[in-house]
Structure 1
Amino acid sequence: MLLTPNQRAAYHQVFKMFTDETGIRIKTVARVDKKYKESVYQWLTGDGYSPDILNWHTSKRLFYFASRKAILPINEMLKDPEFVGEFKHVLSNVIYEGDLYAVPTSYYHWGFLYKKSLVNAKGKVPQHWDEFIALCKQLKAEGVTPIGIGTKNLWPVAAWFDYINLRTNGLEFHQQLLNGKISFFDPRVRQVFSTWKQMIDSQFFLSNSDELRWDQVLPLLYRDKVAFNLIGNFATSKILETEVEQIGFMPFPKINDIPRYEEAPMDAFMVSAKTNRVKESILFLKFIAREDIQSLLNNGLGYLSPNIHSKSQGDRFLQQGAKLLKESQGVSQYFDRDTVPEFDVQAMPILVNFLHHPDIDTVTRQLEITRIKVFKPTN
Structure 2
Amino acid sequence: MSDVESSGSTTSSPFATRRNVLRGVAGAAGLAAVSGGLLTACSSSSDDKKKTGGNAASIAGSTVTFGSNYSDAAPKAAFSALTASATTSSKVKVKVNTVDHNTFQQNITSYLQGTPDDLFTWFAGYRMQYFAAQGLVEPIDDVWEKIGGNFSASAKQLSTGLDGHQYLVPIYNYPWVVFYNKSEFAKRHYSVPTTWDEYVKLAKKMKSDGLIPIAFADKDGWPALGTFDILNMRINGYDYHIKLMKHEIPWTDQGVHTVFQHWAEIMPYLQTGANGRIWQDASKALEQKQAGMMFQGTNQVAAQYVTDKADLDDLDFFTFPSINPQWGQDYMDAPTDGFMLSKKAKNSDAAKAVLEYIGTGPAESEYLKTDQWDVGLVNGLQVPTYNAIQKKSVAEIAKCKSVAQFMDRDSDPAMANAMISIIQKFIDDPSTGNIASLQKSAESQAKAIYS
TM-score, normalised relative to structure 2: 0.69
The CA distance in 2 between the partners of 1:136 and 1:170, in whole Å, is: 24
Quick check: 1:262–1:328 contact (8 Å CA) kept in 2?
yes
Q: Cα RMSD between the aligned structures?
A: 3.4
Whether 1:14 and 2:85 are equivalent positions in the alignment is: yes
Checking the alignment, whether the CA contact within 8 Å between 2:152 and 2:379 is kept in structure 1 is yes
Cα 1:169/1:299, change in 2 over 3 Å:
farther
Q: 1:357 to 1:90 in 2, by over 3 A?
A: farther
Q: Any idea what the Cα deviations from partners look like across 1:298-345, whole Å, max 9, x if unmatched?
A: 323444322242234144333332333344444333333333443333
Moved more, 136-145 or 367-376: 136-145
Q: What letter is aligned with 1:95?
A: T
- Higher fraction of helix: 1
Give matches, 1:219-298, under 5 Å.
Answer: 219-221=284-286, 224-233=289-298, 234-239=300-305, 241=309, 244-256=312-324, 257-258=326-327, 260-274=330-344, 284-298=354-368
Q: How many residues align?
A: 367
Maintained 8 Å contact 2:247/2:446: yes
Shift of 1:114: 1.4
* Matched-pair identity in %: 22
Letter in 1 for 2:375: L
Contact kept in structure 2, 1:90 and 1:330, CA below 8 Å = no
Counterparts in 2 of 1:248 and 1:375: CA distance versus 1, 3 Å: same
Q: Bigger shift: 142-151 or 346-355?
A: 142-151
CA distance in 2, matches of 1:136, 1:14: 45
Does the Cα contact within 8 Å between 1:109 and 1:262 map onto a contact in 2?
Answer: yes
Residue 140 of structure 1: CA displacement?
4.1
**Corresponding residue of 1:357:** 429
**Contact 2:173/2:376, CA 8 A, preserved across alignment:** yes
2:419 is the counterpart of 1:347: yes
Alpha-carbon distance in 2 for matches of 1:92, 1:11: 24
| Letter of the structure 2 residue corresponding to residue 93 of structure 1 | L
* Whole-angstrom CA distance in 2 between matches of 1:262 and 1:315: 21
Distance between the aligned counterparts of 1:168 and 1:77, measured in 2?
A: 40
Matched-pair contact (CA < 8 Å) for 2:172–2:338 = yes
Matched with 1:112 is 178
CA shift for structure 1 position 26: 4.4
Q: 1:229, CA displacement in angstroms?
A: 1.0
Q: Which amino acid aligns with 2:370?
A: G
Give 3-state SS (helix, strand or coil) of 2:409's partner: helix
Secondary structure of the residue aligned to 2:293 is strand
How much has 1:38 moved relative to structure 2?
A: 7.0
- SS of match in other structure, 1:28: strand
Distance, in Å, in 1 between the alignment partners of 2:212 and 2:90 is: 54
The answer for the alignment partner of 2:282 in structure 1 is 217
- TM-score between both structures, scaled by the size of structure 1: 0.80
| Cα distance in structure 2, aligned partners of 1:55 and 1:125 | 36
Aligned to 2:206: 139
Superimposed CA distance per residue, residues 32-65 of structure 1 (whole angstroms, 9 cap, x where no aligned partner)? 336755775346434xx55544332223331222
CA distance in 1, matches of 2:284, 2:79: 32
Tell me: higher relative CO, structure 1 or 2? Use CA pairs within 8 A at least 6 residues apart. Answer: 1
Q: 1:14 to 1:169 in 2, by over 3 A?
A: farther
SS at match of 1:348: helix
Runs of 5+ consecutive residues of structure 2 not aligned to the other structure: 1-64
Name the counterpart of 2:445: 370
- Looking at structure 2, the residues matched to 368 and 39 of structure 1 have their Cα atoms a distance apart, in angstroms, of 27
Q: Assess if the C-alpha contact under 8 Å between 2:190 and 2:202 holds in 1.
A: no
Q: Which amino acid aligns with 2:393?
A: G
Instruction: Quote how far apart the aligned CAs of 1:149 are.
Output: 0.9
Match of 1:69 among 110, 113, 135: 135
Question: 2:398 & 2:207 partners in 1: Cα distance?
Answer: 34
Distance 2:199 2:242 in 1: 26
2:216 pairs with 145, 149, 156, which one? 149
CA distance in 2, matches of 1:277, 1:152: 39
